[in-house]
Chain A
Amino acid sequence: MTLHVVETGPLVTVQDRGRVGLAHLGVPRAGALDAPAAALANRLVGNDPTAAVLEVLLGGLSARADAGCWVAVTGAPSPLLVAGEARGHAHAEWVPAGATITLLRPETGARSYLAVAGGIAVDPVLGSRSTDTLAWVGPPRVEVGAVLPVGPSYGEPRPLDTPRTPRPGPLRVTPGPRADWFVDGALDVLCGSPYVVEADSNRVGLRLDGPPLERRGADELASEGMVLGAVQVPPSGRPVVFLADHPPTGGYPVIGVVDADDLWQCAQLRPGETVRFSRRPAPPDPGSATH
């Protein structure tokens, strides 16, 4: 079966769990920004966890299914309409053949996930169906007129699942590899005040405004590998939390690293909203290898 895309909002992309093992070639990992929400949508329709879903930023998606199928919407609570009728959030819903699925703009949150039983079956690129919005590796963004193939359904949807209890909290951050590039107490500054989400935040990074984080010196850092959740600090002192489409290497020091378990929250923050950090103890020093 196929989905025929009739309307899109600000950004609709195909996402799965991302592309691994290619950072050394300069390829971002990509993958669903709110990974637990995408995983839940797949479980609800009976999909394998590796199935691809649609990530829908701020609603606005409308698509016609040419065959009957189960769907589920999770993440930001975009109201779901099937053939014009309101249906449930985080719940498997049946779509009759020929009916149109519509995701309206959510009142809270930013990114919703639409899973279809069988998964979005666009051709994988380098082992993943995810679209990376930094270098545009992977399938193109979903535009009006796109015809998206859907794979064979795995079986019946799960009758019940427990949606993740939304428990947003401070982003837990451990001191990063270059915490020593900052003045004493810089991590306490980061964890001591709310930071405001800037309008140019995207899948690459959550850009934040708040008390600047001051460096010890003006040395330039040689470009080095970056991880998901890295809190990178450019010369402005305003932190950027690296999200799924982050560049694999970067030249600004990383003061801290946000716990992977907390990153889903970054997917759901809107510009102007605030975020707080809380400090976790430094991981054990792995030491050095001697020869």
Chain B
Amino acid sequence: MDPRSVRLRPVGRTAALVEVGDAATAFALATWARSAGVDAVEVVPAAETVLFDGVADPGALAAALEGWSPAAAPVAGEPVEVPVTYDGPDLDFVAEAWGTDRDGVVAHHTGVEYVAEFCGFAPGFSYLAGLPADLAVPRLASPRARIPAGSVGLAGAWCGIYPTASPGGWRLLGRTDVTLWDQTREQPALLPPGTRVTFVVA
């Protein structure tokens, strides 16, 4: 992709999808668009795109985005520390995949600063980037029917924490007691896009 241009795809008459290629750039564009007051009801960063929904004039969006540079560093978000009890059912699987033991998994997992790049799947579920690509692990071939709230898992090089009990196919390392989603809080998500996350042993 030409790093100096982003492609816009129309989505119906009042939305457009902007292709930027990766989640970090999508997060950076979404953050910029909010601060710049780009006309959209929803700005939704994802793995490779940003959706601008509820746009009165999608034709004007391309011009509005001229003010953004993909090279601009994203604004650093708030730091949050998440204590984890490392007793997940997939610790041994991950240890083998990483060529280490359980303690090695904990050391790798706690040794990285993650960034919440986007939310999805469920309210408060943040996709945390930071693990190097060579530590990517495959999802379970068949998802577990029920994963308890607070479970900390990996899928590919993403790390995530289940805000509520749900089915899921991520490789589980452990669990945390922090409340990821509380709809009575003014900021209901603990880890909105941009948050810097570190894991510590509980």
Residues of A within 8 A of B (CB): 20-21, 23-27, 125-126, 135, 137-138, 174, 176-178, 222-227, 229-230, 247-249, 254, 257-260, 282-291
Contacts and interface: CB of A to CB of B under 8 A. Distances in A.
Nearest to B13: A283
Given A223-B47, A223-B120, A257 B12 contact: yes
B70 interface: yes
Contacts of B70: 291
B27 to A, nearest CB: 10
Interface stretch (B53-61, B73-81, B84-92): B53-61
B4 A25 contact: no
Contact of B66 (A248, A249, A291): A291
Interface residues of B, number: 54
Contact of B4 (A176, A229, A291): A291
B183 interface: yes
Nearest to B61: A286
Interface stretch (B104-112, B129-137, B187-195): B187-195
Nearest to A250: B120
A222 B48 contact: yes
Contacts of A222: 46-49
B5 interface: yes
A257 B16 CA distance: 12
B42 interface: yes
A23 B125 contact: no
B46 to A, nearest CB: 5
A27 B47 contact: no
A257 B11 contact: yes
Contacts of B51: 23, 224-227
Nearest to A177: B9
Nearest to B7: A288
Given A21-B41, A25-B192, A286-B62, A135 B122 contact: yes
B64 to A, nearest CB: 8
A111 B136 CA distance: 46
Interface of B: 4-18, 30, 41-51, 53-54, 58-59, 61-63, 65-66, 68-70, 118-125, 164, 183-184, 188-189, 192-193
Nearest to B187: A25
A283 B9 contact: no
A284 B45 contact: no
Given A223-B46, A289-B6, 19 more contacts: A20-B41, A24-B193, A25-B189, A26-B123, A126-B183, A138-B183, A176-B11, A176-B12, A222-B47, A225-B50, A225-B51, A225-B53, A227-B15, A227-B53, A230-B12, A248-B120, A282-B10, A283-B10, A288-B6
B66 A177 contact: no
Given A26-B122, A26-B123, A26-B125, A177 B47 contact: no
B68 A125 contact: no
A125 B66 contact: no
A289 B63 CA distance: 7
A23 B41 CA distance: 9
Given A24-B43, A26-B125, A286 B6 contact: no
A287 B46 contact: no
A284 B11 CA distance: 10
A259 B13 contact: yes
Contact of A288 (B8, B119, B120, B188): B8
Most buried by B among A21, A24, A230: A24
B121 A224 contact: no
A223 B48 CA distance: 8
14 contacts: A24-B42, A24-B43, A24-B193, A125-B184, A135-B122, A174-B13, A224-B17, A225-B44, A225-B50, A227-B53, A249-B118, A260-B12, A283-B12, A291-B70
B189 A137 contact: no
Contacts of B193: 24
Most buried by A among B4, B59, B118, B184: B118
A256 to B, nearest CB: 9
Contacts of A176: 11-12
B135 to A, nearest CB: 19
A26 B164 CA distance: 13
A126 B10 contact: no
A260 B66 CA distance: 29
Nearest to A27: B123
A229 B122 CA distance: 20
Contacts of B53: 23, 225, 227
Contact of A24 (B18, B44, B48): B44
